[in-house]
């Protein structure tokens, strides 16, 4: 017996314009400056990635 597969078409839905407004205004969570090198991390950023980048900036900025 042969297997039958069914192809399902994706359904895309538009987001309502009311929800867009709150995501458009992103505010920085952390700002750091070392020897004219600036790092700005926004809310929702991966904290471990931000800490690793900060370590590299601090290590090589001096």
Counted domains in the chain: 1
Instruction: Determine, yes or no, domain membership for 45.
Output: yes
**Cα(34)–Cα(57) distance, rounded to whole angstroms?**
8
What is the structure's pLDDT at 15? 63
Instruction: Determine, yes or no, domain membership for 41.
Output: yes
User: pTM value?
Assistant: 0.51
To which residue do tokens 């809310």 refer? 43
Residue 43's domain spans which residues? 32-62
Which 3 state secondary structure label does DSSP give 30?
strand
* pLDDT tops 70 at residue 44: yes
Instruction: Determine, yes or no, domain membership for 12.
Output: no
Between 49 and 13, where is the model more confident? Answer: 49
Instruction: Determine, yes or no, domain membership for 4.
Output: no
What is the structure's pLDDT at 39? 87
Q: Report residue 43's pLDDT band, with 50, 70 and 90 as the boundaries.
A: confident
Q: What is the pLDDT of residues 2-42, one digit of tens each?
A: 666 676 676 767 666 655 555 555 678 888 888 888 888 88
């Amino acid at each position: 017996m042969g297997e039958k597969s069914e192809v399902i078409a994706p359904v895309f839905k538009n987001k309502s314009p009311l929800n867009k407004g709150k995501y458009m205004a992103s505010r920085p969570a952390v700002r750091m400056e070392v020897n004219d090198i600036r790092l700005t991390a926004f809310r929702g950023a991966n904290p471990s990635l931000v800490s690793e980048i900060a370590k590299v900036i601090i290590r090589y900025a001096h």
